[in-house]
Structure 1
Amino acid sequence: MLEWINQLPILLLILVRLTAFFIAAPVFSMKGVPTHFKIGLGFFASLLVLTTVEQAPVELDLFYIFLIIKELFIGVSLGFIAGLILYTVQVAGAFIDFQMGFAIANVVDPQTQAQVPIIGNFKYMLSILFLLSVDGHHLLLDGVMNSYRVLPLASMLPAVDSSGIAKFIAVTFAGMFAAAFQIALPIAGSLFLVDIALGILARSVPQVNVFVVGLPLKIFIGFVTLLITLPTFFYLVQKIIKDMYITMGQLIRLLGG
């Protein structure tokens, strides 16, 4: 009994990292997931970590407060970097909406309560469903579980190279926009060709009202191309999920020095 009481500070630190991760990570942070479910999942996952990962004993003193802040930072950072990679599809949807003429017609994302593009939100929902279908949420849990082996609970973070962190963030953002461009390129490229054809039509046949014909034509071509390129989209989403897991591991190694 006394041994379990001595492990309560460690259990609390584990719970802080996991619950912070669930607050920021995709799928787990969605508004549709009940709060008591997140807390319960974090508690049972903390018990698993406590019984499988050996950690040094922790004392309840002033230093313990800094350990809690460190665990909160680690959990939020891992969840944020995972969500950032998955938000690539929303950025790609913004590119597509701009070409289709849907840039001014946004919808409210139930997860973030922010205005998001229509096609971007549609692609994001598809990517979430694909993530769940291939057990990508298990990869997220595996990533945060592995962080306990690299980032122990009883010590603060080592001296981290700030230039390395800045380079990592810059490379992550660049990779996100590159992947978004790859997802949006087939549809945006097709709509760009439609713009060129409409421009040629306006010059050759001035009597045709291009503004009346162009908008429904671009919407029709956009939806047809969106349907045709769905297999390619899911292939790219699979690559994004793999990159998300790899990026989480890179961040853990950077924070671990």
Structure 2
Amino acid sequence: MVTVIENYPAFLLVFMRITAFFVTLPLFSYRNIPNMYKISFSFLLAWIMFIAIEPPPIEIDGEYFMLILKEALFGLLTGFTAYFIIAAVQIAGSFIDFQMGFAIANVIDPQTGAQSPLIGQFLYTFALLLMVSVNAHHLLLDGVFYSYQFVPIDQLYLPLGKDNVIEFIVRSFNSMFLIAFQMSIPVVGSLFLVDIALGIVARTVPQLNIFVVGLPLKIGVSFILLIVVMAALFVSMQQLFDTMAITMRGLMELFGVMGNEPS
């Protein structure tokens, strides 16, 4: 077995891929986790994976710097793929916020530092807790490990310009919005019916100020509906985790198969 000291260029490539994964990977990339812990965990995981995969000897030459860029790019793209799939929860919350009248009020997400809708951040927090409770974060770590079966450490480039890769990314974005729409449609559809009822009331009883009555009514109905459909939302979140793992695997397969094709 080759030790890390004897083949330290290969270990640096493994460490680069795992570190790039953790820059964009959900739950592991959040900035409220100290960078010292992220780097230490990445180093420990890289050590374990280096021993497990036993990479071939690699020399430092002109191609080595291309391998470094490839490893960093592959880690960032695969981690970002998992991130934008789980971001469907926040998009579903933004749909609900817009229909409730909360679209103008945003909160700061402590994990990313960006502005997030109220209901979107509420549902996203539950999604992260569910991810930990059902061990879905282990799927992310498995994806990091099994990525070497699809994209070897000595593969020189990634086929980013291939039509199949572009089509796969577009389909993944499409599936993200479809999942967000499916998660939000019970509340959004019910609030649409409430808007129709308020419109009928406004025409039949013109003395009633609908703008004063409608907003608190929609907020109250929204919270009641969220309580009713919360169990269904958790089921959708579990399916979302499966979609996240399948999307990561599909992207790795495309990168690996097309990257090894003879030019």
Which category describes the TM-score, using the shorter chain as reference length? over 0.9
Listed one character per residue, the Cα deviations across residues 198-233 of structure 1 (whole Å, up to 9, x for unaligned) are 000001111110000000000000011011111000
Q: Which runs of 5+ in 1 are unaligned?
A: none
Aligned-residue CA RMSD in angstroms? 1.4
TM-score, length-normalised on structure 2?
A: 0.94
Q: Is the 8 A contact 1:160 1:254 kept in 2?
A: no
Aligned to 1:46: 46
Aligned to 2:174: 174
Q: Distance in 1 between matches of 2:78 and 2:159?
A: 18
29-38 or 139-148, larger mean C-alpha shift:
29-38
Q: Is the 8 A contact 2:67 2:157 kept in 1?
A: no
Q: Distance in 1 between matches of 2:31 and 2:125?
A: 13
Matched letter for residue 238 of structure 1: Q
User: What SS is found at the alignment partner of 2:216?
Assistant: helix
Q: Distance in 2 between matches of 1:115 and 1:155?
A: 38
Aligned to 1:68: 68
| 1:158, distance to aligned residue in structure 2 (A) | 5.8
Matched letter for residue 46 of structure 2: S
Q: Is the 8 A contact 1:11 1:46 kept in 2?
A: yes
User: What SS is found at the alignment partner of 1:116?
Assistant: strand
Aligned to 1:156: 156
Matched letter for residue 118 of structure 1: L
Aligned to 1:232: 232
| 1:109, distance to aligned residue in structure 2 (A) | 1.3
Counterparts of residues 174-193 of structure 1 (less than 5 Å):
174-193=174-193
Aligned to 1:199: 199
Listed one character per residue, the Cα deviations across residues 160-179 of structure 1 (whole Å, up to 9, x for unaligned) are 66211111111001100100
Question: Is 2:215 aligned against 1:222?
Answer: no
Q: Distance in 2 between matches of 1:207 and 1:3?
A: 82
Aligned to 2:261: none
Q: Distance in 2 between matches of 1:156 and 1:6?
A: 22
User: What SS is found at the alignment partner of 2:5?
Assistant: helix
Q: Distance in 2 between matches of 1:224 and 1:248?
A: 36
User: What SS is found at the alignment partner of 1:123?
Assistant: helix
Aligned to 2:210: 210
Listed one character per residue, the Cα deviations across residues 152-193 of structure 1 (whole Å, up to 9, x for unaligned) are 112313656621111111100110010000000010011111
Question: What is the total number of aligned residue pairs between the two structures?
Answer: 257
Q: Distance in 2 between matches of 1:107 and 1:210?
A: 28
TM-score, length-normalised on structure 1?
A: 0.97
Q: Which runs of 5+ in 2 are unaligned?
A: 259-263
Q: Is the 8 A contact 1:151 1:157 kept in 2?
A: no
Q: Distance in 2 between matches of 1:7 and 1:242?
A: 36
Q: Distance in 1 between matches of 2:61 and 2:200?
A: 75
